[in-house]
Structure formats: structure tokens, C-alpha cells
Structure 1
């Protein structure tokens, strides 16, 4: 199945904290794909200026639901929050 909706979370994370951010990504990638309704893909994108996690979903509703899920609020968010230098930029896109 191909993703129709993308949830993009862009974070400013200093290079010293990027290994810890990658660990959070790796720890929750498989549970995300197996347990989150409508989840299709999850990719970690790294640039000099920021880190992005691109989540693929089958619908906007499921992307929005993930942001309210226990996994996101209690695990992923808590694991990443101390690593940010500013609040993340969260966007949802529809593929055409």
C-alpha cells in the first residue's frame, strides 16, 4: 500500500544529541508500523540544519490520531523533547 498522507515532524537537534534522537526513532519504528492504525511508512531524514521524521499514513484522520496516541504522547514525545533546541514543526500533507 502506498502512503496517501504524510506527517512530517521537523526538529532542530544539535549534533551531539542526534544519536539519542536516532535511538528513539529506531526504538519506535517497528511498533509504530505494527500498532498505529493506518501507518504505512516511517523514515528518518537528517540534514545539517535539522532532523525530520516522515510518517506515511492511509488517511488524514489516522495521521492526526497518531499525534494523540499514547505511543506518541507518552513515549516518542517524552524521548525527543529534551533533545530539541526549539519546538518541532509538525505538518500533515496529502499526496496527489
Structure 2
């Protein structure tokens, strides 16, 4: 398994709401890895100023496709949106 692309989503979430955000991560991690084409890894990163999720994929195309998937649009996004203080920052990187 070689990760060839990363989807990095950074979210401004108040510390009081971070346990709820971590629950969303935990609730959907396995289904993400089991059902999203090209998904290889998913990690939750927490800093004092924000929370991020780093998704590893086998291609940039699969990373882009995940953002349009039913899982992302109807489950993950809907669950996280009430916790955000601002729109999330979404970046896709190709790995060398």
C-alpha cells in the first residue's frame, strides 16, 4: 500500500466541541476505509488552534472523488458542519 495523494481538511472547532468532532471521525473511519475507492489511511490531528483530518489515497482522482461521495456529503459533512467556527480548509496533495 503506497499513499500517492493526501486530502487534508483543517477545521476551526472550539475545544468544547472537539469530543463531538472526534466521535464523527471514529464513527466514519472504518466505513471510509472499507467503502471509499482508493482510501488507504485516515488520521485525526489535533492542535491548540484547530483540528484536521488527513486522508491517504492511492490517487489524486480518488481523493477528489471522495469529496463528492454520498458518505462525505450526506454523513461526514452534515455531522461536522454544526461544529465549525468557519468554513474548513480543504487541500489535496500528491505524494512524491
TM-score range, shorter chain: over 0.9
Over 2 Å off, 4+ runs? none
Q: Deviations over 1:14-42 (max 9, x none)?
A: 00000000000000000000000000000
Q: Paired residue for 1:4?
A: 4
Q: How many residues align?
A: 96
What is the TM-score normalised by the length of structure 2? 0.99
* CA distance, structure 2, for counterparts of residue 89 and residue 63 of structure 1: 15
Determine helix, strand or coil for the equivalent of 2:64: helix
What is the TM-score normalised by the length of structure 1? 0.99
- Gap regions ≥5 residues in structure 2: none
Q: Paired residue for 1:68?
A: 68
* CA distance, structure 2, for counterparts of residue 37 and residue 88 of structure 1: 23
* CA distance, structure 2, for counterparts of residue 78 and residue 59 of structure 1: 25
Could you say what the CA RMSD is over the residues aligned between the two structures, in angstroms? 0.4
- Gap regions ≥5 residues in structure 1: none
